[in-house]
Amino acid sequence: MDTPIIEFDRVSKIYSSGGGPITALHDVSLRIAAGEFVALIGPSGCGKSTLMRLIGDLEQPSGGSVRVKSKTPEQARRDRDYGIVFQAPVLYDWRTVSRNVELPLEIMGRPKEQRRERALSLLRLVGLGDFADAYPHQLSGGMQQRAAIARALSFEPSILLMDEPFGALDEITRERMQLELLNIWSGANPRPTVIFVTHSIPEAVFLADRVVVMSPRPGRVQRVIPVDLSRPRTYETREDPRFFALVTEVRECLRTAE
Amino acid sequence: MRATTIRQQISTPARVGGWLRAFWPPLLTFLLVIGLWEAAVRGLSIPLYLLPAPSQIVATFMERPGYLLRIGLATLSNALAGCAIGCTLGALVAALCVRWPIAADGIVPLAVAASAVPIIALAPLMGIWLGSISPASKIGVVAVMTFFPTLVSVYRGLISPRADALLLMRSYAAPPRDVFTRLRAPAALPFFFSALRVCTTLSMIGAVVAEFFGGPQNALGVYIKTQAGILRTREAWSAILVACLLGLAFYLLVLVAERIAMPWRKEQ
Ligand SMILES: Nc1ncnc2c1ncn2[C@@H]1O[C@H](COP(=O)(O)OP(=O)(O)O)[C@@H](O)[C@H]1O
Ligand SMILES: [Mg+2]
């Protein structure tokens, strides 16, 4: 692998809580290449969110080192290298959809016309062109999550951190959103690196270049499974025998991880 | 379909219909109560000094509406000034509490307790401190009464954003000023306005009651107390009527301001 954009070297994370210390991550080493789409999968509580938060400087490691673009995660955050999407859309309900998308650009001091233009083109990209001036509560859950993705993309971050972004959506919406996300990702130039947390096995296989399977108590990387399905991925990809084989492989791996 | 058209389609008739539905039942109840009151006073021949009929109260008001409204406005302006001071200071201290959490630990629980205390009892003391005739003592009572509930409510609003919303700001490397103006303050607006609604009522009560303990001749509270003292019940009631009307007007003003300040809540 050429110089990785994200590098975990023997990272551990211990939370101190009321009931004593909790080891959320133990001895995790991982390298992620620029432009890669990586899915993190594992049972809940195995430290997926923690791993993502360590990359994004939303938590600090207890041991080992995390480097992002050869910088500390904090420096990368200050350089605005991260776009984040959570499971909940977290739109600000006092802002219209387009002004939600503009929010990071406002904070980063971009000129007004440029912000608006960027927001509108992103909203068209995620299929919300007609809802720019609506308020979030007028949108369905799937539409809100699309707006959240547009907001994360607005300032063209080089790394996209997504923590179960489709976890609250129904299966049909979810499959459509996966396809849309891949279209947006492969259409971007340069492609952002995506860290995508999920506990859906088919979702991980469908989206990712590599699936990182994690095991619980303490959270470790069980195995990294490369996904050799061709791109662009389509609805037919899910019917490919290779897709099933990979899904089975991830499932087996998760089972032995218990 | 465009979002705006959807919004218009749903809301215009629905809003008018909803408004009518919301408006009629209390109006009918109000008229019924007034009717019963009128009938009771006439039917039971209740003496005038005990309880005048609504029609008599209105007639008394109509004898000198200009004077009553003028003294009403004098009292209302004390209420407004006190409310403005109390709410502004309350919101400011709430903002300081968010900036310095150590201050919040000390101040907020006390403010919660103070909101439950009958601060109106301070009125006679305010007279001693700020002059019983001067408007300053009335404004002072109202300011203290409205300060604590506003502080508590705005503080709750400022700390209401969820962890994810704050983490987003962190991921943008947003400076504290942006976190405040673009997240905490707008999140606190609904809390501020619900405090303000309570405070309009509190401040009208505060201003009138404070005048019971002294004030200039041309003030609602003084007038009510004097007239009641010499058993001129009709005159006292006509001033109470003015107090009610002005209090309602103040409240409606806040409701309108609330709608203008928070357009996103219109259709919720
Ligand atoms: N802020 C925290 N304080 C204490 N314990 C935490 C905190 N965040 C996560 N944990 C614990 O760390 C472990 C991993 O959590 P998390 O990374 O959220 O897992 P996942 O996202 O895979 O469900 C869990 O046992 C969780 O209870
Ligand atoms: Mg999680």
What residues in B contact A83, CB-CB < 8 Å? 171
Q: What is the mean pLDDT of residues A207-221?
A: 92
How close is the Cα of A51 to the center of ligand 2, in Å?
9
Going by DSSP bridges, is the β-strand pair A220-226/A210-215 parallel, antiparallel, or unpaired?
Answer: antiparallel
Buried b (16+ CB within 10 A) or exposed e, B104-136: beebbeebeebbeeebbebbeebbeebebeebb
pLDDT over threshold 70, residue A239: yes
Query: How many Å apart are CA B48 and CA B232, to the nearest integer?
Result: 9
- Low-confidence residues in chain B, pLDDT < 50: 1-10
- The torsion of the CA quartet B96, B100, B102, B103, rounded to 10 degrees, works out to -20
What residues in A contact B261, CB-CB < 8 Å? none
Answer whether B182 sits within 8 Å of A90, measured CB to CB: no
Could you tell me which of A61, A76, A87, A58 has the C-alpha nearest to residue A158?
A76
For residue A146, give Cα distances in angstroms to A181, A197, A241, B170.
9, 17, 30, 21
DSSP H helical segments within A108-214, as ranges? 112-125, 141-153, 171-187, 201-207
Q: CB of B73 within 8 A of CB of B255?
A: no
Tell me what pLDDT residue A256 has: 86
Buried b (16+ CB within 10 A) or exposed e, B153-187: bbbbbbbebeeebbbbbebbbbeeebbbebbbbbb
Looking at the CA of A12, name the nearest ligand.
Answer: 1
Going by DSSP bridges, is the β-strand pair A6-17/A63-68 parallel, antiparallel, or unpaired?
Answer: antiparallel
Tell me what pLDDT residue B13 has: 57
- Is any atom of ligand 1 closer than 6 Å to the C-beta of A256? no
Q: CB of A25 within 8 A of CB of A11?
A: yes
3-state helix, strand, coil in chain B (%, to 5): 85, 0, 15
Residue percentage of chain A with pLDDT more than 70: 99
pLDDT over threshold 80, residue A257: no
Answer whether B268 sits within 8 Å of A137, measured CB to CB: yes
Query: How many Å apart are CA B104 and CA B82, to the nearest integer?
Result: 24
For B172-224, write each residue's pLDDT tens digit: 999 999 999 999 999 999 999 999 999 999 999 999 999 998 888 889 999 99
Tell me what pLDDT residue B157 has: 97
pTM score, two decimals? 0.87
Tell me what pLDDT residue B8 has: 45
Tell me what pLDDT residue B12 has: 55
What residues in B contact A94, CB-CB < 8 Å? 186-187, 189, 262, 264
Nearest by CB to residue B171, choosing from A77, A92, A96, is: A77
- Is any atom of ligand 1 closer than 6 Å to the C-beta of A44? yes
For A68-86, write each residue's pLDDT tens digit: 999 999 999 999 999 999 9
Tell me what pLDDT residue B244 has: 93
**Interface of chain A toward chain B, CB-CB under 8 angstroms:** 56-58, 77-78, 80, 82-84, 86, 88, 90, 92-96, 103-104, 106-108, 130-131, 133-135, 137-138, 155
Nearest CA in chain B to A93: B264
Query: How many Å apart are CA A144 and CA A95, to the nearest integer?
Result: 13
Please work out, in degrees rounded to the nearest 5, the angle formed at the alpha carbon of residue B28 by the alpha carbons of B22 and B32.
Answer: 150
pLDDT band at A258 (very low <50, low <70, confident <90, very high): low
Answer whether B182 sits within 8 Å of A107, measured CB to CB: yes
For A1-42, write each residue's pLDDT tens digit: 567 999 999 999 999 988 889 999 999 999 999 999 999 999
Tell me what pLDDT residue B216 has: 86
Average pLDDT along chain A: 92
Query: How many Å apart are CA B162 and CA A87, to the nearest integer?
Result: 13
Query: How many Å apart are CA A225 and CA B93, to the nearest integer?
Result: 55
Q: Tell me phi and psi for residue A29, to 5 degrees.
A: -120, 135
Query: How many Å apart are CA B73 and CA B107, to the nearest integer?
Result: 35
Contacts of B113 (CB under 8 A, 6+ apart): none
Nearest by CB to residue A56, choosing from B6, B7, B171, is: B171
Looking at the CA of A46, name the nearest ligand.
Answer: 1
What residues in B contact A80, CB-CB < 8 Å? 172-173
Position with higher pLDDT, B268 vs A176: A176
Nearest CA in chain A to B174: A107
Query: How many Å apart are CA B40 and CA A242, to the nearest integer?
Result: 88
Buried b (16+ CB within 10 A) or exposed e, A175-186: bebbbebbebbe
Nearest CA, atom 11, ligand 1: A24
